[in-house]
Chain A
Amino acid sequence: MKFAVLQFPGSNCDQDCITALHSFEGADAGYVWHKDTSLSGYDAVIVPGGFSYGDYLRCGAISQFSPIMGAVKEFAANGGPVLGICNGFQILCESGLLPGALVRNRDLHFLCQDVHLRVESTDSRFTKGSAVGAVLRVPIAHGEGCYFADDATLHDLQQNDQILVRYCDEHGDINQASNPNGSCLNIAGIRNREGNVFGLMPHPERACDALLGSTDGRVIFDSLLA
């Protein structure tokens, strides 16, 4: 499976993604510049983290109009898997590929720490190798990671099993104390209704090597590659 890792001016987790992907058997990966217009030859797309366009205006607001995003929308419409991590999640929300938006963290601080995530659904190409209730320890690094959507959208997300991971404590309990940024319903990551687009604020690519303290992020890539 060949992954396209998009590069916008200001992306800074693109190399982490490529390095992580190369540790998986059966995964190949290449960079795709945001001014490119084709994803031909690729089987999956990763929109990586960073500060594309310096987060000017809003996080992801300008990147959504980069030439490559036309190809990403077409790729997603044809059922291709698209994974947005951190700033990539913000870009997917801004571009309308995922519902809702990411706003300033509840306590205004930039948060750089490990969090625990509870897998809420395995009904997706990204979590099918995990188990409902599994607890993953994965780092976050964001200032605008508070997931917001109106009540009707939150209702739909729940009805359609689109919430894939929620912030929890180490025992898997979901409560306000385990919600690092004030996200609605402790949401850390959601998929689109069709199940082929997944965005999350935490960084699974930084939890793929024991040397970095956790390998819990591997299940996301293993699921995709299975």
Chain B
Amino acid sequence: MKAVVTVMPKQSVLDPQGAAVAQAMQHHGLEAVGKVRVGKSIEIDLPAGVDESKLHELCRDLLSNPVIEDYSLEIAD
């Protein structure tokens, strides 16, 4: 099975990288671009039957920092 963890900066945290990307998109002709936020996506190969609560624990304690980021976990078979 495969897990995909998406980590995004919290709405309350300034994302200067996203702002810079939005500006670059405007310069490349998409004047109407709205807010852009940059996060990361982590793909993890796992054996079948891995404890999902353990995965959430790792998402919270290692893969994201709850002070500044939110994560979502998607598991595909």
Contacts and interface: CB of A to CB of B under 8 A. Distances in A.
A104 B69 CA distance: 13
A199 B68 CA distance: 18
A128 interface: no
Contacts, number: 37
B24 to A, nearest CB: 12
A104 B16 CA distance: 7
Interface in B5-21: 9, 12-14, 16-17, 20
Contact of B68 (A62, A103, A105): A103
Interface residues of B, number: 12
B62 A148 contact: no
Contact of A149 (B9, B14, B20, B67): B67
A109 to B, nearest CB: 10
Interface string A86-111: 00000001100001110111111000
B63 interface: yes
Interface string A146-170: 1011100000000000000000000
A58 B39 CA distance: 12
Looking at A61, A100, A104, A182, the one whose CB has the most chain B CB atoms below 10 A away is: A104
Given A99-B67, A105-B16, 7 more contacts: A57-B62, A62-B62, A106-B16, A108-B16, A108-B20, A148-B14, A182-B14
Contact of B67 (A65, A101, A107, A108): A101
Contacts of B68: 101, 103, 148
Nearest to A59: B65
Given A108-B20, A148-B67, A148-B68, A103 B13 contact: yes
Nearest to B9: A103
Interface of A: 57-58, 61-62, 65, 93-94, 99-101, 103-108, 146, 148-150, 182
Interface of B: 9, 12-14, 16-17, 20, 62-63, 65, 67-68
Given A106-B14, A106-B16, A108-B20, A57 B63 contact: yes
A61 B67 contact: no
B62 to A, nearest CB: 7
A223 to B, nearest CB: 28
A94 B17 contact: no
A98 B60 CA distance: 17
Contacts of B9: 103
Nearest to A94: B65
A108 B16 CA distance: 7
A58 B65 contact: yes
A8 B12 CA distance: 32
